[in-house]
Amino acid sequence: MDGGPEENAPQASKAPKTFIKHETHWAADGSLLLQIGDTRFKVLKSRLVSESTWFAALIEQRSGIVPAEPFPDQDEIDRVLATVEEVDGLDLFYLDVDNYPNHLESFSLLLTSMSNAIDYIYSPPKLADTVLLLEAADFYRAQRYVDFCITYIVGLLPDRMPGGDPANRALLVKGVKLARRYPGLSLILRPAFYDLARLWPADDDDDDDDGQYDDLSVADDDDATVNGDAKRASALEKLESSDLVLLLDIQKRLVFAWNDIVDIMEYKCESALCHKHHVGRIHHIRRAMAFDPIRGIHMILASPPVFAKGHYCAESTPKIREMLRKERNRIWKDIHLWYVP
């Protein structure tokens, strides 16, 4: 009966193991058996081979084909080949891997994506599921699914100049950790580091996101009851020490960027009509946006009192506005140089 334990698995060269049929991935016409822990899958060999170069190499070598050059993951292939058994005329491979705590869940998601990926058009996966899918797709070299996950995650943290509120802290920390692991996600480092820098420290509970990221496993040992400062600290503690140091350095650079902004605001042409009274009008913006000079410049440019008639002459106003825009672009561009460890 599907879903129940199969205590009497067919005899093979090795002692039979107790197993449970996977509730979803047990195809009646399956041609390959795979097992992780005590969960067994029955899948179509042709689909796995067409989608995963890892499984293509495994099946080829099982059939006796010797590769001209060793497969990049040859050690893993050899280990799995050594576990093969024959059960009811089908090959059974044990896929258990050390240091892969979410292996069963992520592999199940990979199989689901291979069968029903079109569903994501109408119902995008949760971010936590996308991360698990990326782990399995990367491990088993299923490049099409790696590309999907990277595109999806980059879309959550697009590499564009910030114009609104920062993203959720749990998403940002997870983004940095993922980008350090998967080079294809390096595009999210700049927006992630900038948002983390302007979020920390924060007096308000910026993590109030209606539970959108409750399923993000930023930490396995997070206490679900913590909130406020403890919750923020808990998320940041999950950064690698080198990235935490980088974050502090980026904050320092963002604070110093205000010195250049003030210099621009003190611009005075030769006309006797130019005044410097406008400088004091940005102090409140500087205090409120100490770690966010890009949005600070947005606010200065959009602030009628700063450029009110009589503060600048007709010649200075467009020059100052243009210098502020260039400074904003320079800060955003330079961040690329700041977050390389």
Q: Provide, rounded to the nearest whole percent, the portion of the chain with pLDDT above 70.
A: 80
Q: Do residues 32 and 136 share a domain?
A: no
Q: Do residues 234 and 113 share a domain?
A: yes
Structurally, the chain folds into a number of domains equal to 3
Q: What is the pLDDT of residue 16?
A: 59
CB 232 within 8 A of CB 169: yes
Q: Do residues 48 and 91 share a domain?
A: yes
Residue span of the structural domain in which 260 resides: 251-338
Q: Do residues 191 and 287 share a domain?
A: no
Residue 215 has pLDDT above 60, yes or no: no
> Does a structural domain hold residue 130?
yes
**End of a domain among 244, 273, 292?**
244
> Does a structural domain hold residue 101?
no
Q: Do residues 142 and 195 share a domain?
A: yes
**Among the listed ranges 24-38, 189-203, 223-237, which one has the minimum average pLDDT value?**
223-237
Q: Do residues 57 and 158 share a domain?
A: no
Residue bearing the bigger pLDDT, 98 or 46: 46
Q: Report the Cα 236 to chain-centroid distance in Å.
A: 15
Q: Do residues 141 and 226 share a domain?
A: yes
Write out pLDDT tens, residues 287-316: 999 999 999 999 999 887 777 666 667 778
Radius of gyration of the chain (CA): 28
Residue 233 has pLDDT above 60, yes or no: no
Residue 229 has pLDDT above 60, yes or no: no
**Among the listed ranges 40-44, 90-94, 238-242, 301-305, which one has the minimum average pLDDT value?**
301-305
Where are the strands (E) in the chain, listed by range?
5-6, 19-26, 32-36, 39-43, 85-87, 90-94
Q: What is the mean pLDDT of residues 312-336?
A: 89
Residue bearing the bigger pLDDT, 124 or 177: 177
Q: Do residues 169 and 187 share a domain?
A: yes
Residue 184 has pLDDT above 70, yes or no: yes
Q: Do residues 58 and 13 share a domain?
A: yes
By the 10 Å C-beta count (0-12 exposed, 13-18 middle, 19+ buried), 26 is classed as middle
> Does a structural domain hold residue 178?
yes
Rounded CA separation 55/58 (Å): 5
> Does a structural domain hold residue 309?
yes
Q: What is the pLDDT of residue 94?
A: 96
Q: What is the pLDDT of residue 15?
A: 53
Instruction: Specify the amino acid at residue 157.
Output: L
What is the residue-averaged pLDDT of the chain? 83
What's the angle, vertex CA 322, arms to CA 199 and CA 292, rounded to 5?
5
Q: Do residues 9 and 83 share a domain?
A: yes
> Does a structural domain hold residue 201?
yes
Q: Provide, rounded to the nearest whole percent, the portion of the chain with pLDDT above 90.
A: 56
Q: What is the pLDDT of residue 309?
A: 65
Q: Do residues 64 and 166 share a domain?
A: no
Residue 7 has pLDDT above 70, yes or no: no
**Among the listed ranges 170-184, 199-213, 276-290, which one has the minimum average pLDDT value?**
199-213
Residue 273 has pLDDT above 80, yes or no: no
Q: Do residues 81 and 129 share a domain?
A: no
